[in-house]
Amino acid sequence: GNPPYIRIQTMQESDAESVAYLNQHYAAAKKGNYDIYVCFVERGLGLLNENGTLGFILPHKFTNSEYGQPLRNSISTGRNLAELVHFGANQVFEGATTYTCLMFLKRENQNTFRFVRVDDLKNWVATNVATDASVKAEKVTAGSWSFSVGRGAELVDRLRAYSPRLGDAADIFVGLQTSADDVFVLEFVARRGTSLVVKSKMLGEEVELERDFLHPLVSGTDVQGYDSFDGRQFILFPYSVADEKAALIPFAELKRRAPKTAKYLEANRKRLEDRERGKFADSEWYRFGRNQNLGIQERKKVCVPRLVDCLCAAIDAKGENYLDNVDVGGVTFKTGFERHDLRYLTGLLNCKLLAWFFPNVSAPFRGGWMSANRQFLSQLPFR
């Protein structure tokens, strides 16, 4: 059946003693919110004798996740990897969404290992034939594992080795996390003088709110390439921003400046106070769930969806659009790279070469989707 796949975050609540033990005794448990299977692999490897071999069916997330770094380091240091069969987004287990690989380890140091990439699961089951190659052990490091085999492998390796990478040149940040999108995220209906008519998902009806605290909100589905925002939704943002630092506007001031907005928030007060088991039942009950990136949403930026079937990006040249949670990332240049134009970066992120290369550094999801968060965008070559 399925491999052990227990989020350590859940175990913190149900079995804190086991979590403390794992954190103390396992190197694989040293990176934040890990999955428990990494400890099983570490323990199995430690039990092998000098001629021993083991095989695991396990999620392939450890190969490129942050929490998998200690396990990857152990395997690379011992040169233990003998074979890796990667199923990509193919679903191996009926009735369960898992992204799976087969990993075979040996105690004896390996000079090479066999890497198999299964693109057609049915054909592989029937014939045991897939794209495979013998790879030098030096390719196995503590960094993300992404091994190139088949057509175009040489070009993939050249692009992967290119410097600088996008992560060297750019900051990549996520959007606003309200913990009550049904209240704060509003569907645009019409303009009415200095107000907007919007539809509230929480109330299930249209409301008229002052324009002052409403900002266009971009989600991943709004990014189709270049500058394709359509203003279909807005976010109610009860903060003031100065020098990229945000401060919650006192409710009395909000009520004076925008009485319709204050009335709308009061109509949803119970919903907002009840978030996270009553954590927000205080004088700032209308604040967002997280303070992350509140003050930087008005930066001029390039927007990239979190999930893509083909890499794409759109430019927010005036910094007018706020970003929706982790559903879309904002990309700006770091100090020392400001000489580059965001329009140039937009062109790169929409070009055929990087679209072709991106699956080699990203994590696959069923249906042909790929993750385009900071971890994977940072690995793109930047010329």
Average pLDDT over residues 130-156: 90
Q: What is the full DSSP assignment across 270-304?
A: HHHHTHHHHTT-STTTTS-S--TTGGGTTS-EEEE
d(CA 282, CA 286): 9
How does pLDDT run across 160-214, given as a tens digit for each residue?
999 999 999 999 999 999 999 999 999 999 999 999 999 999 999 999 999 999 9
- Dihedral (Cα; 94, 100, 105, 110), 10-degree rounding: 140
Q: Running DSSP on this structure, what letter comes out for residue 71?
A: H
**pTM (2 d.p.):** 0.83
In the structure, what pLDDT confidence band is assigned to residue 152 with cuts at 50, 70 and 90?
confident
The model's pLDDT over 344-370, given as tens digits with 9 standing for 90+, comes to 999 999 999 999 999 989 988 888 899
The pLDDT score that the predictor gives to residue 225 is 80
Q: Where are the alpha helices (DSSP H) in 5-120?
A: 8-14, 16-25, 37-47, 69-78
CA–CA dist 69, 71 (Å, integer):
6
Reported as a single tens digit per residue, the pLDDT across 1-32 is 344 444 555 666 567 888 889 988 898 888 77
Q: What is the pLDDT of residues 271-314, one digit of tens each?
A: 999 999 999 999 999 999 999 999 999 999 999 999 999 999 99
Nearest to 52 by CA among 103, 108, 102: 108
Q: Are 374 and 172 in contact (CB under 8 A)?
A: yes
- Between CA 301 and CA 41 the distance in angstroms is 41
pLDDT of 377: 97
DSSP conformation class of 163? S
- Residue from 161, 173, 144, 166 nearest 66 by CA: 144
The confidence score (pLDDT) of residue 14 equals 62
Mean pLDDT is lowest, of 60-69, 113-122, 142-151, 286-295, for 142-151
Return the structure tokens found at 123.
Answer: 């054909």
Q: Which two tokens stand for residue 383?
A: 């010329």
CA–CA–CA angle 310, 311, 317 (5° rounding): 135
